[in-house]
Chains A and B, each alone.
Chain A
């Protein structure tokens, strides 16, 4: 089954404790992206990757890191989480073409206390 998986689905952590949210897709997509969703703001892009070893900042990259060492994986790293990073996070992937929809993972709900 074609899918994007994220782990963990739910996470409660404390300020400053490094964490990684994993994202994996099995569709051989070139393009992968991370979004955060906050009430009243819709989804905003954090980082994206057009292909292996190619990553770039989105609209809200501060406080986040990513890497793309393999085509299927695109982990999101929070080196020192803060309460303002409490949010719902989505990973997405697609064929790297304008006309194709992005497939979303199930989301990771992160709470930073």
Chain B
């Protein structure tokens, strides 16, 4: 069965520093999609970045990059130059190719301090 594991319940980072949020996944499908979402305290789910299983290069979107290590089945999110507004809950998710369902991890709460 497909599964997403986020082992860091909470992380702290100082403003302007980089931070890595861990995500490992388990699937037997060769084709899958990996996503990161941000959930600020206001509650909405904001899409950050996507990585396809056949993508050769790591995905990047502005200050967000995805460190995709296929053999290790990891898809860590790297946030560079952290800002106070980055304080939020971050979810890693995998899209099931059969049902298009998003399978979520339990999330990591990131707190950025001045």
Contacts and interface: CB of A to CB of B under 8 A. Distances in A.
Nearest to B51: A99
Interface residues of B, number: 24
A36 B28 CA distance: 26
Contacts, number: 62
Interface of B: 4, 31-33, 35, 37, 43-45, 47, 50, 52, 91, 93, 95, 97, 99-102, 104-107
24 contacts: A31-B100, A33-B101, A35-B102, A42-B91, A42-B104, A42-B107, A45-B101, A48-B99, A48-B101, A58-B99, A90-B45, A92-B102, A96-B100, A98-B33, A98-B52, A98-B97, A98-B100, A99-B33, A99-B50, A101-B35, A104-B44, A106-B43, A107-B44, A109-B43
